[in-house]
Amino acid sequence: MEQLVMEKLVILADSAKYDVACTSSGSNRDPLAGGLGSCLAPGCCHTFTADGRCVSLLKVLMSNCCAFDCAYCVNRRSNDLPRATFTPRELADLTIEFYRRNYIEGLFLSSAVVGSADYTTERMLAVLRLLREEYRFNGYIHAKAIPGASPALIEQLGCFADRLSVNIELPSEGSLRLLAPDKGRSSILRPMGQIAAAAAANRHDLTVYRHAPVFAPAGQSTQMIVGATPESDYQILRLTEGLYRKYSLKRVFFSAYIPVAEDRRLPALDTKPPLLREHRLYQADWLLRFYHFRADEILDEGSPALSPYLDPKCGWAVRHLERFPVDVNRAPYEELLRVPGIGVKSAQRIRAARRQGALGLDELKRMGVVLKRAQYFIVCRGFAGASGGRGSARRQQIARALIDPGAFGGGCEQLSLFSAPAVQQLAAGGTPLRLAGRMVQEEAVRCLAQAL
């Protein structure tokens, strides 16, 4: 491999590190005779396939020479950093050589806006054409659609890629105008709508003619930066819910803002990325997608922020104690999903098993129910609910069971990145990390016990 190509790879792979892509492929494609690769739905990008293999993508930019000047982006026009641009042939050859060496099983391709959105998309399409038509590459490809590109080019992109994504970037149009003046909300949502409509039409075509060309079989996703602007968790969840409903997205990814530029419009350079907030948003997103929650059930205008100490499902249960305890032998599936400690799989197992007979604690434990939390919200055969003492002692016992111990960063130094803000503040003031974690945890237990 030429040294020049390697230098480009170092620069452009590093420039792509802020694109979130920890996802499964979501599509299946069998190997072709004389072709390279295949695509398995559980595969690709730091995950495990059904047979236990860890597979990954080559995540790289076509170019980091950007015509836009988005304040939050490391590749913005005004930033002084090494620049590079792959030719379509270089990137296609690189992907195939990495695949043949068993380094990767697919490609995650994005790009800065080189000149214009159409020109950039045309160069990305040239890469995908080489891979699919000349090299007959049959593996997974995730391509970023460039906002502002023409509908014809977006349609062609979807015919070559397994998944498309259009980054919404920031949660509100006002924030986009402030930090990304070259972008507009309509230029982002328009291709999203086109991809959703084309995918729906393609599904219909495939039911009529199974050999019809496939359009983005793994659907579309988007990414949202969290912490660069003042929008609340409630606003972010409302937007997320709307995107799922209107555009049939597979995933909304949240990316904690990492300060990369000194700018009065952005958090200071020494601001820690809100990783715990990102984690809570992913948990809330899980509730929207799999637990039949609505955004206005998880948060509201009076309580617009997710708790750093409780996961969103426990937070909802604490605010709705009147709905508990739930009889696991009688409750509908939707109510089982709302019990802390009962997940989707365990709720499905309960629903199937109780047809054969009444369930007790032993059976629930074998099904994967986390009784440490669930015992305060359920009744079942031979169990009328956990007593755990009386008065404040019982409330503190429940509080300790519900509070997330991972939010207090008492383990190693690395875990402190995910600790609650109060722990970080105490640690910054000189309090040892473990002690700071214990102090904040005890205060959180007292506050939650009082709320109960």
Domain chopping of the chain, boundaries: 3-298, 307-379, 387-452
Task: Quickly count: other Cβ atoms within 10 Å of residue 23's Cβ.
Answer: 20
pLDDT tens-digit readout, 30-78: 666 666 555 443 333 444 443 444 557 888 899 999 999 998 898 999 9
pLDDT score for 419: 72
pLDDT score for 56: 77
CB 353 within 8 Å of CB 359: yes
Alpha helices in 101-232 (DSSP H): 117-129, 151-160, 173-179, 185-208
User: Cα–Cα–Cα angle for 126, 186, 219, nearest 5°?
Assistant: 50
Strand, helix or coil at 215?
Answer: coil
How far apart are the C-alpha atoms of 206 and 200, rounded to whole Å?
Answer: 10
How far apart are the C-alpha atoms of 215 and 157, rounded to whole Å?
Answer: 9
CA distances from 214 to 36, 159, 200, 236 (A): 19, 6, 11, 32
Of 299, 378, 308, nearest to 337 (Cα)?
A: 378
Most confident residue range from 101-105, 335-339, 398-402: 335-339
Alpha helices in 323-390 (DSSP H): 333-336, 344-353, 361-366, 371-374
Percent of the chain with pLDDT strictly greater than 70 = 87
Please count the CA atoms within 13 angstroms of the CA of 152 that sit on its side-chain side. 3
pLDDT score for 413: 45
Average pLDDT for 149-167: 94
Residue 336 has pLDDT above 70, yes or no: yes
Q: What phi and psi, each to the nearest 5 degrees, are found at residue 36?
A: -115, 130
Average pLDDT for 309-320: 91
Site of tokens 């709508």: 193
How far apart are the C-alpha atoms of 330 and 380, rounded to whole Å?
Answer: 9
How far apart are the C-alpha atoms of 444 and 450, rounded to whole Å?
Answer: 10
Confidence band (pLDDT; 50, 70, 90) for 291? Answer: very high
pLDDT score for 89: 96
Average pLDDT for 11-18: 81
- The pTM score is 0.86
pLDDT tens-digit readout, 177-224: 999 988 888 899 999 999 999 999 998 888 888 888 899 998 999 999
pLDDT score for 410: 52
pLDDT score for 421: 78
Least confident range from 32-41, 71-80, 266-275, 443-452: namely: 32-41
How far apart are the C-alpha atoms of 206 and 218, rounded to whole Å?
Answer: 14
pLDDT score for 429: 78
Strand, helix or coil at 54?
Answer: strand
**Helix pair angle (233-247, 275-290), 10° resolution:** 40
CB 60 within 8 Å of CB 91: yes
pLDDT score for 432: 82
Site of tokens 């008065």: 391
How far apart are the C-alpha atoms of 369 and 340, rounded to whole Å?
Answer: 9
Per CATH, domain 3-298 is 3.40.50.261: no
Q: Which residues contact 97 (CB under 8 A, 6 or more apart)?
A: 1
pLDDT score for 417: 53
Which residue has better confidence, 401 or 166? 166
Site of tokens 């492929």: 25
pLDDT score for 143: 93
Of 201, 184, 191, nearest to 157 (Cα)?
A: 191
pLDDT score for 332: 96
Q: What phi and psi, each to the nearest 5 degrees, are found at residue 290?
A: -125, -15
CB 162 within 8 Å of CB 216: yes
Residue 447 has pLDDT above 80, yes or no: no
pLDDT tens-digit readout, 402-414: 888 777 765 444 4
Instruction: Please enumerate, as own/partner, the contacts of 388-393 that have beta carbons within 8 Å and a separation of 24 or more.
Output: 392/449
Least confident range from 46-55, 89-98, 376-385: namely: 46-55
Residue 272: DSSP 8-state: P
Which residue has better confidence, 329 or 422? 329
Confidence band (pLDDT; 50, 70, 90) for 90? Answer: very high
CA distances from 285 to 168, 169, 252, 293, 298 (A): 16, 17, 8, 9, 10
How far apart are the C-alpha atoms of 18 and 256, rounded to whole Å?
Answer: 10
Mean pLDDT over each residue of the chain, to the nearest integer: 85
Pairing of strands 54-55, 378-379: unpaired
Q: Which residues contact 412 (CB under 8 A, 6 or more apart)?
A: none
Of 331, 303, 333, nearest to 318 (Cα)?
A: 303
Least confident range from 4-8, 199-203, 228-232, 242-246: namely: 4-8
How far apart are the C-alpha atoms of 157 and 442, rounded to whole Å?
Answer: 53
CA distances from 136 to 13, 27, 107, 162, 163 (A): 24, 17, 14, 15, 18
Average pLDDT for 358-384: 93
